[in-house]
Chain A
């Protein structure tokens, strides 16, 4: 234990005196988390909230449907409608050209007379319905066919995603159905009033019969809406944690290359125990790094108008998750540092393997967007186990019991990496390289 503590002291001194290393370990991940959160904030916002999508809008109808669509789009706070380009009123051709050039991603053209056509069709349908009651002279409408469907043209930039296109088309269809429904009731009442002079049509207030309640199920009835910070802070904290293998492997290989390991191996001390002391120091670094990243999520992100991280009340689970994630990362680092023969090999392999595991683990692309095969592969990445655990804590309010599966997997990974290191050292003495 005495030698373990002395090694911790030595490693801490070396680390504290490496100013560049400290900047890399503490400052860079914070910068990364802020930049990535801000970048994704824009991305998320374009789907969810404040950032508005510029839409070229030509309303040739100038009647109920055109107005309904225009108001509907504006009220979503999601679109900013433009009826002119460079000071000139838009035309159908102008919209097509502007979208083609990439100046706008969406253009909508409401054709003339579309409301009139809907109104006419509604009148015919109401008249035909009332005919059954003998309340209407069908001769007036009998030969008039229902008008064919009119076309609302929507120009999309080729980069617009299908889900986004579907959302827009669904919204326009919804406005159309609303207009039709309102017209049917209004026309029906109007005709009923004509047939029955005593009938007093009610003042119709059209209201949705169904409302939607968004629920984000969590373990402790804490229904919080996940925001970008709750995705980004854990994701990049896990990434930074695993990236600590670069300074860790570097420290191990420098010790080997500069001869200190030669001396240590000739001393009456268990080298694996000294490695564990190194792991302990880097574990503290990982922990502090994660704390700083969480603080950045809570206090710094809001300064850039990004959403703040909501910490929740599972601090113990968060601590446990951070420790086991860091252990998994450090176990991997010790293994790479032992197996690699050169500094360059460790740095290159370490960095690339972490990037691959991060990509596979859903740190860059959410798992639900991955192909089914890749979703299974993602489950093999320790970064994914760590991220899942953090998501459970931040988004679902999970306690230690609920993150136990992830914790056990990460601990298993740590012990497996250390076991491989021990076995390798037994058969391939690092000093004989």
Chain B
């Protein structure tokens, strides 16, 4: 792991209009190259807001973010070239085929021609979608859509990949394929920032996790270290419930 963080978050705060409570409350955090960093938290904890700010979708109320040494707001265009985003929603056009969707998203990164075709073909093969490539997304199963959703964020081979609940609501096989591939690209140098509700998945996948609640980081560290810190709990899920409480969230 390099000493220099690839993502530096300094006193990040976000208030939404009409809300007195901050969605993110003065978060500071460093994420290092080649990490798979898990942002874990109950609904409304501020995970998606944090990822949205890191992707430059909207500005924070306060605080600074540096990605690969570049200040986010003043270098947004450059940063957008090195980050990939896999949103929680299936951000695809249902009436277009997987091929058409991926071609369009690849084009938006400036990819074209044989290079783009090769990349799409390669990913479709890895994720077992080559036969369905010319079928409309609306005819796909949930797992297939999730896989296309992931490919769309990988096409330009980003240095940093943000994944917001990438495996929610899919079958075990699709989940395995996705997680295996994330491990593979991580080994090849991609830093992954990942949110999930699946604690076991995060425990196995992430090199570090931050448990966030009500906009604050309440615990951070390697899952194994966290388990050592809380020997009374046998897994990450128990620690998570202990730290965030059992009360249901909206």
Contacts and interface: CB of A to CB of B under 8 A. Distances in A.
Contacts of A264: 108
Interface string B73-92: 00001001101010111111
Contacts of B80: 266-268
B233 interface: no
A431 B57 contact: yes
Contact of A259 (B83, B89, B104, B136): B89
A429 B57 contact: yes
A7 B105 CA distance: 10
Contacts of A167: none
B100 A262 contact: no
B57 A265 contact: yes
A2 interface: yes
Which of B104, B109, B110, B136 has the most CB atoms of chain A within a 10 A radius of its CB? B104
A262 B89 contact: yes
A262 B87 contact: yes
Nearest to A259: B89
Interface string B89-130: 111111110001001110111101000000000000000000
B107 A432 contact: no
A2 B57 contact: no
B55 interface: yes
A339 to B, nearest CB: 15
B85 A3 contact: no
B100 A6 contact: no
Interface stretch (A9-17, A44-52, A71-79, A393-401): A9-17
B90 A3 contact: no
Given A2-B112, A266-B80, A429-B57, A260 B92 contact: yes
A386 to B, nearest CB: 31
A2 B107 contact: yes
- What band does the interface of chain B fall in when counting residues whose beta carbon is under 8 Å from A? 35 or more
A432 B77 contact: no
Nearest to A270: B77
B72 to A, nearest CB: 12
Decide if the interface of chain B is mainly helix, strand, loop or mixed.
loop
A269 interface: yes
Given A263-B85, A266-B83, A432-B58, A10 B100 contact: yes
Contacts of A263: 85, 87, 91, 105, 152-153
Given A3-B107, A10-B100, A429-B57, A17 B95 contact: yes
A6 B89 contact: no
Contacts of A9: 104
A258 B57 CA distance: 16
Nearest to B100: A13
Which of B52, B112, B153 has the most CB atoms of chain A within a 10 A radius of its CB? B52
A266 B89 contact: no
A261 B96 CA distance: 16
A267 B104 CA distance: 12
B95 A14 contact: yes
A50 B65 CA distance: 77
A432 B23 CA distance: 12
Contacts of A432: 16-17, 57-58
Nearest to B51: A266
A203 interface: no
Interface in A241-278: 258-269
A105 B110 CA distance: 72
A373 B85 CA distance: 55
Contacts of B107: 2-3, 6
Given A13-B100, A262-B89, A429-B57, A267 B95 contact: no
A268 B77 contact: yes
A18 interface: yes
A22 B3 CA distance: 57
B56 interface: yes
A6 B95 contact: no
A262 B105 contact: no
A6 B113 CA distance: 12
A259 B88 contact: yes
Given A258-B91, A259-B90, A431-B57, A3 B96 contact: no
Given A10-B96, A14-B95, A262 B109 contact: no
A15 B8 CA distance: 42
Nearest to B49: A432
Contacts of A258: 89-92, 94
Contacts of A10: 93, 96, 100, 104
A260 B149 CA distance: 10
Which of B17, B57, B59 has the most CB atoms of chain A within a 10 A radius of its CB? B57
Contacts of B58: 429, 431-432
B57 A266 contact: yes
A4 B1 CA distance: 40
Given A6-B104, A258-B94, A266-B80, 20 more contacts: A3-B107, A6-B103, A6-B107, A9-B104, A10-B96, A13-B95, A258-B89, A260-B92, A260-B93, A262-B52, A262-B87, A263-B105, A265-B56, A266-B57, A267-B80, A268-B77, A268-B81, A431-B52, A432-B17, A432-B57
24 contacts: A2-B110, A3-B108, A6-B104, A6-B107, A6-B108, A9-B104, A14-B96, A260-B91, A260-B92, A261-B91, A262-B87, A262-B89, A262-B91, A263-B87, A263-B153, A266-B80, A267-B105, A267-B109, A268-B77, A268-B81, A268-B110, A431-B57, A432-B17, A432-B57
